[in-house]
Chain A
Amino acid sequence: MLSRYQSTGKKATRDGFGDALYELGQQHPDVVALSADLSGSLKMQKFIKEFPDRFFQVGVAEANMMGIAAGLATSGKIPFTTTFANFSTGRVYDQIRQSIAYSHKNVKICASHAGLTLGEDGATHQILEDLGMIKMLPGFVVINPCDYNQTKAAMHAIVKYHGPVYLRFGRPSWPIFMPEDEPFEIGKAIVMQPGTDVTVIATGHMVWYALQAVQQLETQGISAELINIHTIKPLDEEAIVTSVQKTGCVVTAEEHQRNGGLGESVAGVLGRQFPAFVEMVAVNDSFGESGNPTELLDKYGLGVADIVKAIQTVLQRKKSAGIHQPANGQPLAAKS
């Protein structure tokens, strides 16, 4: 069966951000944007040209940017802060925590160049800890879209949501494979492919890789269910548990540290509700380095082959434990 999800071209997720920001500017007079000297990298030119009064250049001063955004939000504006993910999180964690999260301000923190795929600039800029930091803040919504279209869809969703949001996207040109008309609901996972042997849960750029891996294994007779989890928080627990009740094992894939990432969140849900084998494709307690984005993903264990291997491993673990393929909704049971 031909998947609904086919590559139709390539664009960066940051282009999706920039294009959507311009559309939001046209639709919502209260939308304002701030940049810490990276408006070019975040593709904001159209917004700036069309709405110069609603754009604030803050300069290389991210802490101040977060505070100003909190003040603008207090007064009823919908501020979108922009810089690299590295400077959107750890550098300004306390400003986000006190002035935005604790004060529940309607600020959208838009963070580009996340993860290894930032590439040649190296580990100083390749943040792999941001999802963990922000998901810990009470009340924060954390979203990591997978392609250009989903980034745009996420932007149109977060502007309608009142509250603090962290939107994470990236630098590289990346396949566009989510249809433009794919519904986007904050906190609602998208089952891209149904399956019965294993659940694969991926976020961000890794969704494309997960799709390749799942399609490869299909030719070997392995039926994988692929879940695109654009919202890291609030996590779609129901979609995860429902799928794992069917498959009994999970592989997660993310461009982030294993510690504090999506995989941990998924494992936590399953530990509380439906214990199952989990393999995590993520960076294993390491910084990145300079290099070509896709080569870096391969080097740090985030390649398509790594997802394939993780799926095979988790299936083997399930088999070794002598666990039945669980019937729908029935708890797992070991063979007697």
Chain B
Amino acid sequence: MTNLENLQKICPQVRRDIIRMVYFAQSGHPGGSLGCTEFLTALYFHVMKHDRAFNMTGRNEDMFFLSNGHISPVWYSVLSRSGYFPIKEMGTFRKMNSRLQGHPATHEGLPGIRVASGSLGQGLSVAIGAALAKRLNKDPQLVYVLTGDGELQEGQVWEAAMFAAHHKVDNLIATVDWNGQQIDGPNEQVISLGDLHAKWSAFGWHVLEMNGNKLDEVLSTLETAKQATGKGKPIVILMHTVMGYGVDFMEGDHNWHGVAPSQEQARKALDQLEETLGDFPYTETI
């Protein structure tokens, strides 16, 4: 099986995990999670060098930070499926006494999480700190960070963008999930993001773009990004995705940012997603 075929087999299972976690919790954020499935699957199952025997410092590993913490379901799925914690633990998502908090946290000791996120705009700064530490440690591995697009309305992101260019943080690959939607509606109606390519470029970043829902394009763009590291500029990938991708009635609809499906909707969604690796066990069926 080629890498691409292997990853293509994982993606529908990750999407099933997202739907089932959010359905069983009757809360959570399916839209952005579904849209970022290819990206996170590619990172954890192909691109990053990482160790499921989790080490907080990430020394000599690639590190990933999720700044838009509300898409925790997709992250929990890939972490679990790549061996950081038992698959059955996904059934505890957003429940009392769980390590799988609504938004990612270190507090309960979930392997794979290095900082809490959820309050937006902070992850890029944290990732820059980790990248600076790698530079001091002469650690050649990279730091990856994902942000949302609505999140770019937070001023701290642009503080971080200015810093990374000035300090030539070139062991960092940031990705923006540009699905054009946020809670209150399309970005263009809430607060226009304008020409993001020109903005990041003007801030001194090496800018790439890709279709985040095409696995082959995700893999090739991430490879291009890796090749561009170490050249004095931080790298950002503007990742065009469709919110809710893979579930036809959720696609492109901002109303699926942060609501759980009904039983009927969950069934309809799961009908569209092949169970390739086995669902996580749970006391109820859908």
Contacts and interface: CB of A to CB of B under 8 A. Distances in A.
B159 A64 contact: yes
A88 B114 CA distance: 23
Contact of A76 (B59, B122, B126): B59
A69 B160 CA distance: 12
B105 A67 contact: no
A62 to B, nearest CB: 9
A74 B57 contact: yes
A74 B114 contact: yes
A76 B133 contact: yes
Contact of A71 (B59, B106, B128, B166): B128
Interface residues of B, number: 38
A95 B156 contact: yes
A72 B118 contact: no
B116 A99 contact: yes
Chain A, interface size category, equals 20 to 34
Contact of A99 (B126, B162, B163): B126
Interface in A45-82: 53-54, 56, 58-59, 61, 63-77, 79
A58 B129 CA distance: 11
Interface string B115-143: 11111011111111111111011000000
B89 to A, nearest CB: 20
B107 A71 contact: no
Contacts of B167: 56
Interface of A (DSSP majority class): helix
B129 A71 contact: yes
A103 B116 contact: yes
A77 B134 CA distance: 10
A98 B118 contact: yes
Contacts of A75: 57-59, 129-130, 133-134, 137
B131 A98 contact: no
Contacts of A258: none
B159 to A, nearest CB: 4
Interface of B: 56-59, 65, 105-107, 114-119, 121-134, 136-137, 155-156, 159-160, 162-163, 166-167
Q: Which 5 A-B pairs have the closest CB atoms?
A: A71-B129, A67-B125, A75-B133, A61-B159, A64-B159
